[in-house]
Amino acid sequence: MLNQALQFLLETVFGLFALAALLRFFLQLLRAPFRNPFSQFVAALTDFAVKPLRRIVPGLFGLDLASLALAWLVEFILLLALFWLSGMFQLMAGASIFLAIAFLAAVKLLKISIYIVLGAVFIQAILSWVNPHSPLAPVLNSLTTPFLRPVRKIIPPLANVDLSPLVVLLVCELLLMVPVAWLESLAMQLT
């Protein structure tokens, strides 16, 4: 029972921090307004780890690779801790397990990225009905426009109702069900 509580605590704390680091990467990548309170919160939450990591992992083509590396490293450490708590390291040994966990951490980041898009599209759709001028709207617009714009070109609004969020949500769910689930099962087989 204590083992399950520790696993839950680790998954929650490390998972939320990996989410924050990945959000920081996407907010910078998609040029979300930095002066927004949400962007500043994410930056303040992750600054203590990202700033020192930037000395080791420089940016590339304007991308904040330190944030992405931090998200992957946190996910890798989380998976190592979870495997250790479950006793799987006692059964297996070798460097190949670390490569498999590294691959699984990358797959988990892909999964979290899709969930970020899902959440942003869903929250933006709700806010567009309830409060379109919310302080969170500019950040959500930055996060969702690259995914919604191509769909809007193909499917125009129907009676002033934008169906592009629905299509993006369906595509994200399909991505989670087929390729991401396959990659996750492949990574689990390698471990």
Question: What proportions of the chain, in percent to the nearest 5, are helix, strand and coil?
Answer: 80, 0, 20
Tally of CA atoms within 13 A in the half-sphere of 50 that contains its CB: 23
Give tens-digit pLDDT for 149-181. 999 999 988 888 889 999 999 999 999 999 999
The domain tally of the chain equals 1
**Residue span of the structural domain in which 101 resides:** 2-190
- pLDDT(92) > 60: no
- pLDDT(59) > 90: no
- pLDDT(84) > 90: no
pTM of the model: 0.90
Q: Under the phi-then-psi rule, with left for phi > 0, alpha for psi from -120 to 50, and beta for the rest, what region is 17?
A: alpha
Give tens-digit pLDDT for 11-25. 999 999 999 999 999
Terminal-to-terminal C-alpha distance of the chain: 24
Q: How confident is the model at residue 111 (pLDDT cuts 50, 70, 90)?
A: very high
Q: Under the phi-then-psi rule, with left for phi > 0, alpha for psi from -120 to 50, and beta for the rest, what region is 39?
A: alpha
Give the per-residue pLDDT at 188.
Answer: 85
